[in-house]
Amino acid sequence: MSFYDFAVPAYLQMLGSLSASLKKAEAYAASRKIEPATLLGSRLFPDMLPLTRQVQLACDFATKGAARLSGSEVPVTPDTETSFDELQQRIAKTIAYLKGFKPAQFDSAATRDITFPSGPAKTTTLTGQQFLSRFSLPNFYFHVSTAHGILRMCGVDVGKHDFLGAN
pTM equals: 0.96
At 97 the pLDDT is: 98
Q: Which of 132, 131, 125, 128 is nearest to 110 (CA)?
A: 128
Q: What is the pLDDT of residues 89-118, one digit of tens each?
A: 999 999 999 999 999 999 999 999 999 998
Phi-psi region of 34 (alpha: psi -120 to 50; beta: other; left: phi over 0): beta
CATH 1.20.120.450 fits 3-164, yes or no: yes
Sign, CA torsion 114/116/118/121: positive
pLDDT number for residue 138: 97
Question: Cα separation of 95 and 110, whole Å?
Answer: 23
- For 11-41, how does the pLDDT look when each residue is reduced to its tens digit (9 = 90+)? 999 999 999 999 999 999 999 999 999 999 9
130-144 pLDDT per residue, tens? 999 999 999 999 999
Q: For residue 149, which of 11, 23, 55 has the smallest C-alpha distance?
A: 55
Contacts of 63 (CB under 8 A, 6+ apart): 74, 75, 77, 94, 97, 98
Which is nearest to 136 in space by CA: 161, 163, 107, 114?
A: 114
One-letter amino acid for residue 165 of the chain? G
69 vs 65: CA distance, rounded Å = 6
Helix runs in the chain, H state only = 3-31, 36-40, 51-70, 84-99, 128-130, 137-153, 160-164
Confidence of residue 47 (pLDDT cuts 50, 70, 90): very high
Contact (Cβ atoms closer than 8 angstroms) between residue 60 and residue 89: no
**Chain centre to alpha carbon of residue 41:** 17
Domain boundaries, the chain: 3-164
